[in-house]
Amino acid sequence: MENYNPSEDPGPTFCVGHHEHNRMITVTPRVIQNVHESNYDMMTVPITTSHFHSRVLGLLSSYLTNLQPPAYDNVGTRATTANTRPLVVPSLSKADSYLTPNDATSQLVGVTSSWIDLCSPDPLIADLSRQVLMLEVAYAAFCGIGYLLIPGPKLHHGALHSEGVIYYARAIQDALNLGPYIQFHIWLQMVDNPETEVDTMGDLAPLARADFLEPSDGIPLKVDPFGTWDAWDAIRKTSKYHTRLFVALSMPKQLPSLFVQSRWHSEPVHLLTIDGSAFLKNQKGYPVLSKSHQALIAKMMRLRTAPWILLCGVGPIPGLENSEDPDSNQASDYPSLSQASKKHHDPTPHLSYIRNLQQRQPQRTAIERFGTGYQDYLQAPLQPLTVNLESITYEVFEKDPIKYEWYEKAIYKALKDWADQKKPTSHPDGKVVLAVVGAGRGPLVTRALKASAEAGVEIDMWAVEKNQNAFVLLQRHNETIWGGKVTLVQSDMRAWKGPRVPKQATSEAKEAVGESLGIGESLLHKKGDAEQGNASTFAQSSDADLCYTHADIIVSELLGSFADNELSPECLDGVNDLINPVHGISIPASYSAHFTPVSAPKLHSDVVHQTVSNPAAPETPYVVMLHAIDFLSTTDTPTTNETSNASDGTRSSTPSGSFTATEFPTPFVQTAWSFSHPNRHIPAQSPMQSTISNAHNVRQTRLTFPAQNRGACHGLAGYFETVLYGDVELSTNPVTMEDKSASMISWFPIYFPLKTPLNVPENGEIVATMYRQTDDRKVWYEWMVEVYALERINSSKPIPTAHSQTASSSVDNLKTKENAAKGSRAGYRRVRVGISDLHSSIKDGCLM
């Protein structure tokens, strides 16, 4: 991290392809060479020709001529087969495809026919379309095509809306089976805009028989911002989140709201298609993209699998003949081939722009560089007490540019305050007794010594570590770096009896506190062989001259991604009584767990596929660097108009005070619970019990999250915040991280999955109930999610929108926010429309 040089960061690589919807050539390795020479990385090819199209139209036409009108059978069913003789499309012939298997095939993206209509309400058209698709997929698979682009479902048929999506989804499932090595990309618009769904000459949709259509009622249809996402959700659900099923997303000239953009950002968009018409012209007449387009591309390119860009309708690839290409006309604003040959003329200005955009990609943030390859990768949680960390793991922690700085700052402030307030110390010499518990390889020890020197406050430094391997390094550092100033203790902190000081100077000898916790004698460290190093003033003292004292400041870093999930509360309980009972300080002083519901299709798909070999997979909280997720509950005001101003990237109708033009909406993250140290309220342990009760570390919460837009909830994203000392805080909460500890890299968030995704209605509510449970031997979590729709009690009152929340920042204002959430929806009845299983990580609970 320290050696990072931004100028050497290569940034994301763009893979750019060329699409022409009626390419009429056989692609050979020579053609591919031509494509590469033009600076494109790949190209598309249609699977079938216009000859095939004409053949199917002819077939349909003669079939319809001889067909009886559809009739009802004797039970009143207007059946699909009873009244139609099956129409079978004969297999492909030579003239039906230019595609032929050769060395170039693997570098092509095949495109299936856009003139079919798998969603047609007329079963004849739907079935004919299905046959066409199957013939094309089968031939593409035979030729060795690796990627297929499939035009998305037609959503509007007269008054019918989205009725045929399930037929489409069913056909895609068949296609996935027919082409087992093909990656399928469903080509979708970002929003459902009925006006852009127009039929062109030769399309099958208008040939649907009137008997199967419901005439439109004449009311103009509105843009549905999440309409195409809805269709995609149905398609991928039908195929059970298939690992070879992706989105090809078409970027319109006017981008939809950031809510819609953020949703697509969370989906597996592997192709981003940009039509020539989506470009603007700069002052010199060259094609450029708006700021909001650039921002969306930049975000997409930072995903674990960056999408390929497909330029459509931007004129031909120089040197490739395609006289009948209708797309080439669209580029007439730009130089023709003959013009291109003239000096200084760029024959591919759109491509040049995209290549230039690649060079101008913003530098990656510290966490992005650190997490390369870890985005959306599920990591099993740690068992920190039973498993000893490797040196390399500590080394990774130690690269954090913020965490250790902040700890040093916190220790410095605590020491300064101690001295300024003239508080008595636990050491006879007046030194502040400071112990780092769970010292690892010692970075916090180094920082504590530095803070003491800077503050000019002398400390008696102790370091406790249970990992015997890390302890070897602590011994070495004490000799080489710390000048023997540190007393090292190799022990589980829960068995440590506390620091010792020369006897004569203390007014009273303390009890061996570790024993009072009831930890077995076998766990207690043995004096002499465990303690190493030289404590400054009593290095030569014999055991008899020493007595136990308190630690004035205990410093620890035992936090997990969800604050308490690596058992910091249980470990610190073990040293609770060692802390100076009057003035003692724990750094951290407190920490809290936070969460928010998310749509996370990639993570859901991974969990589903892991479940095959591990039934506990959906009951496991995972550590994961969340990237391709969409926050379902946000604090920003949605725009009323689904477009943003394309030329300057500002949102034409966004009320002031809302989020910026290119930032995704801010999540509504709420606090689940918190822990404070030292804990003066641990109940006395019962002498009747052989084990220590951990009941005081149980927690429970039930939180309501208003959801503005419809979506699918796949799980909960968890974060933490901690107050180290005073105003020195660390946070992974996306709402507060920037303010409290920007660029901190030590922790990824946690993800609590749901076995089955829950669909969320527009202006609905997501209610999450969560528990931190214990049986005194281990700790685990339980979580459950419910979804509610709001039903009006008073029909004249409009449904309240769900975006009036304030961002979560601390535990204190939690109650206010909960009440606000309830209050703002008064007058409405909640109707539960979905409920998840009660998930439990008990099987993989964290052993105490």
Compute the least distance from the CB of residue 184 to ligand SAM, in Å: 43
- 591: three-class secondary structure by DSSP: strand
**Residue of 168, 123, 170, 132 lying closest to 47 (CA atoms):** 132
| Residue 575 or 802 having the CB closest to ligand SAM | 575
Query: Of the residues 557, 570, 619, 786, which is catalytic?
Result: 557
User: Which tokens go with 483?
Assistant: 């000048």
492 assigned binding-site residue: yes
Give dist(CA 537, CA 539) in Å, integer.
6
| Residue 40 or 370 having the CB closest to ligand SAM | 370
**Pair 591, 675: CB distance under 8 Å:** yes
User: Which tokens go with 784?
Assistant: 């459950």
Compute the least distance from the CB of residue 848 to ligand SAM, in Å: 9
Compute the least distance from the CB of residue 371 to ligand SAM, in Å: 18
**Residue of 279, 253, 271, 291 lying closest to 331 (CA atoms):** 279
| Residue where the block lists tokens 């540019």 | 401
| Residue 20 or 492 having the CB closest to ligand SAM | 492
**Pair 482, 536: CB distance under 8 Å:** no
- 46: three-class secondary structure by DSSP: strand
Query: Of the residues 20, 136, 566, 619, which is catalytic?
Result: 566
Contacts of 688 (CB under 8 A, 6+ apart): none
Helical ranges in 737-831 per DSSP H:
737-741, 814-823
What is the gyration radius of the CA atoms in the chain, in angstroms?
A: 33
Compute the least distance from the CB of residue 2 to ligand SAM, in Å: 16
Contacts of 656 (CB under 8 A, 6+ apart): none
| Residue 207 or 623 having the CB closest to ligand SAM | 623
Task: Specify the DSSP element, H or E, that contains 148.
Answer: strand 147-151
For the purposes of burial, counting CB atoms within 10 Å of the CB of 90, is it exposed (0-12), middle (13-18) or buried (19 or more)? exposed
Say how far residue 697 (Cα) sits from the centre of its chain.
29
Compute the least distance from the CB of residue 389 to ligand SAM, in Å: 6
Q: What are phi and psi of 402, to 5 degrees?
A: -115, -50
By beta carbon distance, the residue nearest ligand SAM is: 438
**Pair 288, 280: CB distance under 8 Å:** yes
Give dist(CA 782, CA 716) in Å, integer.
12
What does the DSSP assignment read for 486-527? EEEEES-GGG----EEEGGG-SSPPP-HHHHTT--GGGSPPT
| Residue 464 or 821 having the CB closest to ligand SAM | 464
Q: What are phi and psi of 606, to 5 degrees?
A: -65, -40
Give dist(CA 4, CA 368) in Å, integer.
12
| Residue 438 or 753 having the CB closest to ligand SAM | 438
Compute the least distance from the CB of residue 567 to ligand SAM, in Å: 7
Give dist(CA 500, CA 592) in Å, integer.
33
240 assigned binding-site residue: no
Compute the least distance from the CB of residue 578 to ligand SAM, in Å: 12
Q: What are phi and psi of 74, to 5 degrees?
A: -70, -10
> Rule CB under 6 A: which residues touch ligand SAM?
384-385, 389, 394, 397-398, 438-440, 443-444, 464-467, 470, 492-494, 557-558, 571
| Residue 747 or 828 having the CB closest to ligand SAM | 747
| Residue 232 or 407 having the CB closest to ligand SAM | 407
**Pair 524, 495: CB distance under 8 Å:** yes
Compute the least distance from the CB of residue 722 to ligand SAM, in Å: 13
458 as an active site residue: the answer is: no
394 assigned binding-site residue: yes
103 assigned binding-site residue: no
Report the relative pairing of strands 622-623 and 750-760 from DSSP bridges: antiparallel
| Residue 466 or 778 having the CB closest to ligand SAM | 466
566 as an active site residue: the answer is: yes
Helical ranges in 266-335 per DSSP H:
291-300, 327-330
**Pair 701, 741: CB distance under 8 Å:** no
Compute the least distance from the CB of residue 706 to ligand SAM, in Å: 36
Name the DSSP letter for residue 224: B
Binding positions are 394, 403-404, 465, 492-493
Q: Catalogue the active-site residues.
A: 557, 566
Binding positions for S-adenosyl-L-methionine are 394, 403-404, 465, 492-493
